[in-house]
Amino acid sequence: MQKAADGANQTDRAALLAFKDGITDDPFEVLRSWNESRLRILWLRNNSLDGEIPTSLSNCSSHMGVQLSRNSLIGRIPREFGSLSNLRLIRAALNNRRGSIPPPFGNLVVS
């Protein structure tokens, strides 16, 4: 079972690094101290982050919450987030993003 956990951790790590690579400005250096643990909640509200929300975050299968409100993120909420079966919260208000809620979000189950 350890092999599966190691693979999942590597997937989460790669997704987080891709997210960090897509951020063009992190004035409060909130991303500097990320560690190797599995990502359950991504809480980056009000950090003046610039960049796009990458689709690679949908590879973090253990995501339960994503809070990206009050930044300067651009683009759309990735439709791939609709495949996160554990996702219970997503907030991305007050950014520079555009578009509507992607159709796959209708497949998410609320418990």
Which pLDDT belongs to residue 50?
93
Q: Which residues span the domain enclosing 53? A: 2-107
Q: Are 87 and 65 in contact (CB under 8 A)?
A: yes
Residue 68 or residue 1, greater confidence: 68
- What is the C-alpha separation between 10 and 92, in angstroms, rounded? 26
pLDDT tens, position by position, 38-96: 678 889 999 999 998 888 888 887 878 889 999 999 988 888 888 888 888 888 889 98
Q: Which residues pair with 18 in a beta bridge?
A: none
Residue 75, sorted as left (phi over 0), alpha (psi -120 to 50) or beta, turns out to be: left
CATH number, residue 61: 3.80.10.10
> Looking at the 3D structure of the chain, how many domains does it have?
1
pLDDT digits (tens, 9 = 90+) for 7-23: 667 887 888 888 888 88
Q: 1 falls in which pLDDT band (50, 70, 90)? A: very low
Task: Residue 45: name the closest of 18, 62, 66, 74 by CA.
Answer: 66
Cβ(41)–Cβ(64) below 8 Å: yes
- Dump pLDDT digits (tens) for 23-34: 899 998 888 776
Sorted by sequence, the CB contacts under 8 Å of residue 26 that are 6+ apart come out as 32, 47, 48, 49
